[in-house]
Structure 1
């Protein structure tokens, strides 16, 4: 899987290079990460035993500024996967014009098997191991899969202890009380909602006309599901790692959020005497959700959910990638032939890194923004980039993914070439 991620990203880069010529120097620079780190993290468990976990951090490219990227806790984390995701982050930051390069980090484990005390020791141990590899002007981590504001707070605190001074700008996605930004915890879903609204307006579609299915009811998926519900869209299906629920009449997303917070599952969400209304519904698998006959499909779980094997069964008219890499390059070709409009992750889910940038700016200035300012800045900036990518796609009659990569590649190539190229030195 990890090797496939990087292969997919590279294929998309090659497609974009046909429309945004890139120098041989820039191509060579982007072939390899700037630095990769693999560490061992010993943790004393609650029962007194010692376990050693493998952790990783990759800084892929810092041409446009210090690197930026999340830290994930997941059993499938490998160095190859982290490198691929760092490559993606490089293009995501360029696509939305942030002064950052791409990075990523992770620890290979199932965090659900650890106590809160063990998670804290693990999080602090990870920072002990990578402290010299990160910094406010070098590499700024953030939350990702199965990490959250509290974990980011532990990590920032540990870095501050190591450096002997408070350093809030080293980590974003922290609790607000520790220097986090208002709106950061919902930024990925909120940014995706702004992109979706912008694109649906291009097609003349009103919310009341549209049905939606959301795969993944975590931080990002649940946020955009609720915002779509409140905007008048009919959200007919949602799922988490254990499965999903479907109702052609539409689901009441606030009730589902409340029920899941209490019961940690959605399979029995509509039941007598539960926190929500009695609504007829069907249980379904994540795979079944992907093939529902809906207008909008939102993969908001993990990568490689739509592949060449199941792309033919997709019936949605529009796909918005809230997860990182949920659609493979082979699946892209099939979906495009089916006439499905796909809006790529490096634009759609960029709200998280954009508000992380706002948090970093606030930490460095000491001036903190109100929530309406965060939302205003996020809306105007991500909408502007979405409009530009739309125009590129229309100009060249190409997919929105290729247009997004052209947009990012143009910025990256310029920054790389401004350091000097073969042609410059030959002349």
Structure 2
């Protein structure tokens, strides 16, 4: 294989390394590798904002559409101060593999604005969202690219995008985004779908490793869009969630935290810090606690070569995108830790986003029970596919998941052929 692409360190480097390993295993040629590695479309935009104090700020916005071979592009939109183009490229690539692995008829995309939402008012965030939407409007749409919530964004953000896009089209277009409010055509069960999928896969991984949920323990990094409900679902299944963290700190109880009470505390105070019935710990310590299952559900690159050797969990279930660096993944795998990759573990969100899109196209709504049942069926099938593929070829679950996904995307590409 002679084609290569120089990339920076970080998530994009890890994403390219994973792809290169899959391509090598599958024996694909240089041109196929280049096609799989190169985003089909990228857009970088300036997002000016008139702040409420009368000043003007300008933020950088991005949208990367990695692949269209299996269908329209799909991926979240994040508002975070450190968002950059390479991060968005990596996340878009991982979305391509995630959709293929779960057999969802989408390609991968991702978007971001380099802004700290906690430092802005709701009105300012609305202005940023609408301006960003107007800038990327030519490349999104229900049959082109469908954004969804991610870090720093929510169903209200999606409502603003839908309204801005619909105003430009001259009619209401519910299918342009997913993760919308229920009142605007959102799907029942969507808000907790990623968390539900993480918990479901974690329980399957525990079962495979011989753990009973009622005798197992877990630590969850992040108590936001993914971690909060993942902790709740694990707690409901009988798992003792000993520690959780957020951007402000971390709390611990050896016997297991009262997740319901913790959620009420966070609603009242905005943070896990100070929760009665817990003791504070260093957030970095959470990753190395003596627990059966570790769920990193916050940021990329939190498990590194520096801390992987101290991880005591027997199972790591990646609730976040790319939480484990390449070096850390090798260390943990060599130590016998079962690594459940993000493209499998946190795929519940895109699965129910697909269900929401289908419902929008049908102008019909499924019951929450039906949505959750269909989600469980998809996640379970993907888990079994990965386990079987890995077992037949002596691969790790990350290798198996990536190879399966890359194989499916390449098959679709080859069947479609190259436009002359």
TM-score greater than 0.5 by the shorter chain: yes
Q: Which residue of 2 aligns with 1:92?
A: 98
Q: SS where residue 393 of structure 1 aligns?
A: helix
Deviations, residues 376-402 of structure 1 (Å, cap 9, x unaligned)? 110001110111101111111221100
Matched, 1:191 2:168: no
Q: Which runs of 5+ in 2 are unaligned?
A: 1-6
2:163 matched residue in structure 1? 157
Cα shift at 1:24: 3.5
Distance in 2 (CA, whole Å) between partners of 1:118 and 1:372 is 37
For residue 10 of structure 2, the aligned residue among 4, 14, 38 is: 4
| Deviates most, 13-22 or 186-195 | 13-22
**1:263-307 residue CA offsets vs partner (Å, 9 max, x unmatched):** 01112110xxxxxxxx3x321122100010110000000000001
Which stretch of the first structure deviates more once superposed, 198-207 or 18-27?
A: 18-27
C-alpha distance after superposition, 1:51-101 (max 9, x if no partner): 221111111110110000000000001111111111111111111111100
Work out the CA distance in 2 between the residues paired with 1:23 and 1:35: 22
Within-5 A mapping of 1:263-342: 263-270=269-276, 279=277, 281-342=278-339
Residues 200-239 of structure 1: CA deviation (Å, up to 9, x unaligned): 2222321122110000010110101001111111110000
Please, which of 412, 419, 423 is the counterpart of residue 416 of structure 2? 419
CA distance in 2, matches of 1:2, 1:82: 13
**Matches of 2:416 and 2:356 in 1, distance apart?**
29
2:71 & 2:29 partners in 1: Cα distance?
A: 20
| Pairwise CA RMSD | 1.4
Unaligned runs of 5+ residues in structure 1 are 271-278
Q: Work out the number of aligned pairs and report it.
A: 413
Query: Normalising by structure 2, what TM-score?
Result: 0.96
Name the counterpart of 2:340: 343
2:243 aligns with: 237
For residues 21 and 155 of structure 1, the distance between their equivalents in structure 2, rounded to whole angstroms, comes to: 42
Q: Which residue of 2 aligns with 1:364?
A: 361
Shift of 1:199: 2.2
| Pairwise CA distance, 1:28 | 2.0
Residue in 1 that maps onto 2:264: 258
Distance 2:265 2:387 in 1: 38
Shift of 1:42: 1.7
CA distance in 1, matches of 2:243, 2:319: 16
Deviation at 1:175, TM superposition (A): 0.3
2:146·2:177 contact (CA, 8 Å) conserved in 1? Answer: yes
Once the 2 structures are TM-superposed, how far is the Cα of residue 27 of structure 1 from its aligned partner?
Answer: 1.2
Give the Cα separation in 1 of the matches to 2:332 and 2:9: 22
Whether 1:130 aligns to 2:127 is no
CA contact (8 A) 1:26 1:416 kept: no
Q: Which secondary structure does the structure 1 equivalent of 2:300 belong to?
A: coil
Deviations 1:352-372, CA, capped at 9 Å, x for gaps: 011000011011111111100
